């Protein structure tokens, strides 16, 4: 997922664009570039590597103006290099374009353009766009029309922004399919465009989000939106509730660290305004679900990817225990290829922090086409998932910048708890007294989270990081509702420290993985005092009997576990359905400290992007 930032207005554009790209660097970063209109000519600066390389280049070759367009790239076609970095120019240098997404038919387009004598200077699919723009521009009535015509030739998801020296007062953006967001920020006599909110939030909170098949003409006076067919569209202006500070790191070393430690607040925020604790009722305003339709469901299918899929595995326990509806979970990337049995009595629940994960969006489309009622639990405002859902539960956890998802995981678990209660209410699957008890349990959760995230116990994590940062493999074991937490803990460790880690159902150890156990394979075991505690103890004993090393996540006050495990991290006791929100926290902190110890790029792990908008 690439980062795009553009500006048109009275102020110097270069620093505005570069600062915006810095806030988006987590999205994709193997090259970066900027195009600036200066004295009627477009000047391009771009370089391979991180944004810091572009900043150094600009220091050597400064350029400024009032119209600029920048890009940080996560390579899909063409290796990370200066030549493949965006923006890309046409032969005249008078038109430039940046893109997010993929031109699936770029080979045939490239061949037909080359047959017309057009020379290509990069290996990218994006370059076909700027040459098509140049061809269409001469016949069109301006850049906006040239963009509309060009988008008609492209196959695959694309979000583009273009500018030309012939029209020095505007940018033109367009969106096709699910290629990541296009946010247009409306300032006072100036206008911004970005692929994500944090890039421009410090300048304005008033934003318009482009939808699939739309083109936007962006000038300092505002934006005009049209369909690809040229019909005017009245765009909805959103007021973004996030403050710029919440998008900045503050006193934390990494965004991931900040986001780990703000989970008591983010869980509070996702509950706020949605619960009547006295009446034992949940109100999810954007769910748009009638009691009749809620009572019609005979199954729930959860679709998501990565961490969000693991949150869905926890949600299965919550929805079945509270709403009493059979629930299954599937990866977005698998769901649509198995011809799933879906109908009007299915509730399809998508969980997606970014709201732009293409596999999850495609699964939603599959469900909708087969008649399901589609609900998304989503964090990013104005995202595609929110737009195409019948009902939405916003996470309200503020911008999650770190590529490794943390607060979005815990808030999406809590949102599924709320959804389960809302469904139970509509279907009368559990009585008001039981609902009041479950809500009362929820009311205590933020305080318990705060106890686990006490920075005063950081020495424990630093000690574990010092001991274990050099190991090459880890096994994470969990059982019951904590099995998904073992999967999530393994994912956190592997994606930011690059240590191989595998999450496994503890009961499955004897069916193979126990052959792996030796002193080189640390085992993290989630052994809180719940209904499978005794089983977990015997699993720990099996590991110890084979000279394994055990790091246990245990309940406070459990004296026994210390006699079994080599290292113990405790969490407060909590009702069984809420323990996963607590047991995941030590695993987030452990992964973070090990990655920091290894000098890893915690917020921008290699090969990863915050939102995966390519299949
Ligand atoms: C989690 O740490 C990863 N960054 C990744 O697995 C992520 O959860 C997945 O790509 C889904 O993203 P989404 O929630 O934005 O759809």
Q: What angle do CA 214, 218, 222 make, to 5 degrees?
A: 110
Of the candidates 503, 473, 499, 501, which has an alpha carbon nearest to the alpha carbon of residue 486? 503
CB of 22 closer than 6 angstroms to any ligand 1 atom: no
Of the candidates 302, 358, 312, which has an alpha carbon nearest to the alpha carbon of residue 612? 358
Give the residue carrying structure tokens 């109908």. 343
Atom of ligand 1 nearest to the CA of 408: 14
The predicted pLDDT at position 250 comes to: 72
Burial (CB count within 10 angstroms: exposed 0-12, middle 13-18, buried 19+), residue 335: buried
- 436 CA to middle of ligand 1, Å? 33
The predicted pLDDT at position 90 comes to: 96
Q: Which CATH class is domain 255-443?
A: alpha beta
- List, for residues 485-522, the tens digit of each pLDDT value: 999 999 999 999 999 999 999 999 999 999 999 999 99
The predicted pLDDT at position 78 comes to: 72
Name which residue sits closest to atom 10 of ligand 1, judged by CA: 306
- 401 CA to middle of ligand 1, Å? 11
- 308 CA to middle of ligand 1, Å? 6
- List, for residues 409-440, the tens digit of each pLDDT value: 999 999 999 999 999 999 999 999 999 999 99
Return d(Cα 175, Cα 210) in angstroms, integer: 7
Per DSSP bridges, beta strands 346-352 and 373-378 are parallel
CB of 613 closer than 6 angstroms to any ligand 1 atom: no
Strand partners, 302: 329, 349
CB of 1 closer than 6 angstroms to any ligand 1 atom: no
Q: Which residues of 21-57 are buried (b: 16+ CB within 10 A; e: fewer)?
A: bbbbbbbbbbbbbbbbbbeeebbbbbbbbbbebbbeb
CB of 360 closer than 6 angstroms to any ligand 1 atom: yes
- The beta-strand segments (E) located in 113-228 are 158-164, 171-176, 183-186, 191-194, 206-209, 214-219, 222-227
CB of 403 closer than 6 angstroms to any ligand 1 atom: yes
- 263 CA to middle of ligand 1, Å? 17
Kindly report, as residue ranges, where domains of CATH 3.40.50.10490 are found in the chain: 255-443, 455-597
CATH 3.60.20.10 fits 3-243, yes or no: yes
C-alpha torsion 528→533→535→537, nearest 10: 70
- 351 CA to middle of ligand 1, Å? 10
First to last CA, the chain: 11
CB of 405 closer than 6 angstroms to any ligand 1 atom: yes
Name which residue sits closest to atom 5 of ligand 1, judged by CA: 306
Task: Give the DSSP H/E element, type plus range, for residue 539.
Answer: helix 533-544
CB of 307 closer than 6 angstroms to any ligand 1 atom: yes
The predicted pLDDT at position 245 comes to: 73
Atom of ligand 1 nearest to the CA of 611: 15
CB of 354 closer than 6 angstroms to any ligand 1 atom: yes
Atom of ligand 1 nearest to the CA of 307: 8
C-alpha torsion 506→508→511→512, nearest 10: -60
Is the bond leading into 87 cis (omega within 30 degrees of zero)?
A: yes
Contact between 425 and 282 under an 8 Å Cβ cutoff? The reply is: yes
Q: Name the residue of 28, 308, 501 to mutate for ligand 1: max ligand atoms within 8 A of Cβ.
A: 308
The predicted pLDDT at position 379 comes to: 95
Atom of ligand 1 nearest to the CA of 405: 2
Q: Name the residue of 305, 401, 613 to mutate for ligand 1: max ligand atoms within 8 A of Cβ.
A: 305
Q: What angle do CA 595, 597, 599 make, to 5 degrees?
A: 70
Token pair, residue 373, equals 């009622």
pLDDT < 70 stretches in the chain: 1, 25-28, 76
CB of 404 closer than 6 angstroms to any ligand 1 atom: yes
Q: Phi, psi at residue 120, to the nearest 5°?
A: -100, 145
Burial (CB count within 10 angstroms: exposed 0-12, middle 13-18, buried 19+), residue 60: exposed
Return d(Cα 552, Cα 523) in angstroms, integer: 8
Return d(Cα 51, Cα 487) in angstroms, integer: 33
Q: Phi, psi at residue 536, to the nearest 5°?
A: -65, -40
CB of 134 closer than 6 angstroms to any ligand 1 atom: no
| Residue 588 CB contacts under 8 Å (≥ 6 apart), including other chains | 260, 406, 489, 492
CB of 305 closer than 6 angstroms to any ligand 1 atom: yes
Ordered strands of the 222-227 beta sheet: 88-89, 95-101, 158-164, 171-176, 214-219, 222-227, 232-233
Task: Tell which CATH classification among 3.40.50.10490, 3.90.78.10, 1.20.1260.10, 3.30.460.80 matches the domain 455-597.
Answer: 3.40.50.10490
Return d(Cα 540, Cα 549) in angstroms, integer: 9
Q: Phi, psi at residue 273, to the nearest 5°?
A: 80, 5
List C-alpha distances in Å: 255 to 139, 206, 594. Answer: 47, 24, 16
Contact between 475 and 483 under an 8 Å Cβ cutoff? The reply is: no
- 305 CA to middle of ligand 1, Å? 6
CB of 497 closer than 6 angstroms to any ligand 1 atom: no
Q: Which residues of 378-396 are buried (b: 16+ CB within 10 A; e: fewer)?
A: bbbbbbbbbebbbbbbbbb
CB of 529 closer than 6 angstroms to any ligand 1 atom: no
Contact between 506 and 517 under an 8 Å Cβ cutoff? The reply is: no
The predicted pLDDT at position 239 comes to: 93
Atom of ligand 1 nearest to the CA of 403: 4
Q: Name the residue of 612, 613, 614 to mutate for ligand 1: max ligand atoms within 8 A of Cβ.
A: 612
Ordered strands of the 346-352 beta sheet: 327-331, 299-304, 346-352, 373-378, 391-394
Residues acting as catalytic residues: 2, 610
- 510 CA to middle of ligand 1, Å? 31
- 352 CA to middle of ligand 1, Å? 7
Return d(Cα 602, Cα 256) in angstroms, integer: 7
Name which residue sits closest to atom 6 of ligand 1, judged by CA: 306
Kindly report, as residue ranges, where domains of CATH 3.60.20.10 are found in the chain: 3-243
Contact between 382 and 365 under an 8 Å Cβ cutoff? The reply is: no
State the Rg of the chain over Cα. Answer: 25
């Amino acid at each position: 997922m690439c980062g795009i930032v553009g500006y048109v207005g009275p102020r110097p554009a270069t620093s505005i664009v570069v600062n915006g790209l810095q806030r988006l660097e987590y999205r994709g970063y193997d090259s970066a570039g900027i195009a600036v209109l200066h004295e009627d000519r477009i000047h391009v600066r771009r370089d391979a590597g991180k944004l810091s390389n572009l900043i150094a280049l600009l220091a050597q070759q400064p350029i400024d103006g009032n119209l600029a367009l920048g890009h940080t790239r996560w390579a899909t076609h063409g290796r990370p290099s200066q030549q493949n970095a965006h923006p890309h120019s046409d032969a005249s240098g008078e038109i430039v374009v940046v893109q997010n997404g993929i031109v699936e038919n770029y080979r045939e387009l490239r061949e037909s353009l080359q047959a017309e004598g057009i020379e290509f200077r990069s290996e990218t699919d994006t370059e076909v766009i700027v040459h098509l723009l140049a061809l269409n521009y001469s016949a069109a009535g301006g850049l906006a029309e040239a963009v509309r015509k060009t988008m008609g030739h492209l196959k695959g998801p694309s979000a583009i922004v273009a500018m030309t020296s012939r029209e020095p007062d505007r940018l033109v953006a367009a969106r096709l399919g699910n290629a990541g967001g296009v946010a247009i920020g409306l300032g006072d006599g100036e206008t911004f465009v970005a692929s994500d909110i944090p890039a421009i939030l410090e300048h304005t909170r008033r934003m318009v989000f482009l939808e699939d098949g739309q083109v936007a003409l962006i000038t300092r006076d505002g934006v005009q939106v049209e369909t690809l067919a040229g019909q005017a569209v009245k765009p909805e202006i959103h007021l973004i509730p996030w403050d710029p500070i919440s998008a900045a790191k503050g006193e934390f070393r990494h965004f991931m660290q900040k986001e780990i430690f703000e989970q008591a607040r983010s869980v509070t925020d996702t509950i706020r305004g949605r619960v009547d604790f006295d009446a034992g009722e949940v109100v999810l305003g954007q769910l748009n679900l009638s009691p009749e339709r809620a009572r019609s469901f005979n199954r729930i299918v959860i679709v998501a990817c990565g961490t969000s899929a693991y949150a869905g595995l926890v949600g299965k326990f919550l929805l079945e225990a509270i709403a009493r509806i059979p629930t299954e979970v599937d990866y977005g990337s698998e769901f649509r290829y198995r011809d799933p049995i879906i109908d009007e009595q299915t509730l399809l629940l998508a969980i997606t922090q970014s709201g732009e994960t293409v596999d999850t969006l495609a699964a939603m489309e599959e469900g909708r086409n087969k008649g399901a009622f589609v609900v998304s639990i989503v964090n990013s405002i104005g995202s595609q998932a929110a737009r195409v859902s019948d009902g939405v539960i916003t996470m309200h956890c503020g911008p999650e910048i770190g590529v490794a998802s943390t607060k979005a995981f815990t808030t999406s678990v809590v949102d599924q708890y709320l959804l389960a209660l809302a469904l139970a209410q509509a279907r009368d699957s559990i009585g008001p007294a039981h609902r009041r008890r479950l809500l009362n349990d929820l009311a205590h959760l933020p305080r318990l989270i705060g106890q686990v995230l006490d920075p005063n116990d950081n020495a424990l994590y630093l000690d574990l990081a010092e001991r274990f940062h050099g190991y090459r493999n880890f096994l994470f074991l969990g059982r019951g509702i904590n099995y998904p937490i073992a999967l999530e803990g393994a994912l956190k460790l592997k994606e930011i420290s690059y240590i191989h880690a595998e999450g496994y159902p503890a009961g499955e150890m004897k069916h193979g993985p126990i052959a792996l156990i030796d002193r080189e394979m640390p085992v993290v075991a989630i052994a809180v005092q719940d209904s499978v505690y005794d089983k977990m103890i015997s699993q720990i004993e099996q590991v110890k009997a084979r000279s394994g090393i055990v790091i246990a996540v245990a309940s406070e006050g459990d004296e026994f576990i210390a006699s079994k495990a080599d290292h113990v991290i405790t969490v407060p006791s909590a009702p069984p359905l809420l323990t996963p929100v607590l047991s995941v926290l030590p695993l987030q902190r452990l992964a973070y400290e090990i990655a920091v110890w290894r000098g890893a790029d915690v917020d921008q792990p290699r090969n990863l992007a915050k939102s995966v908008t390519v299949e």
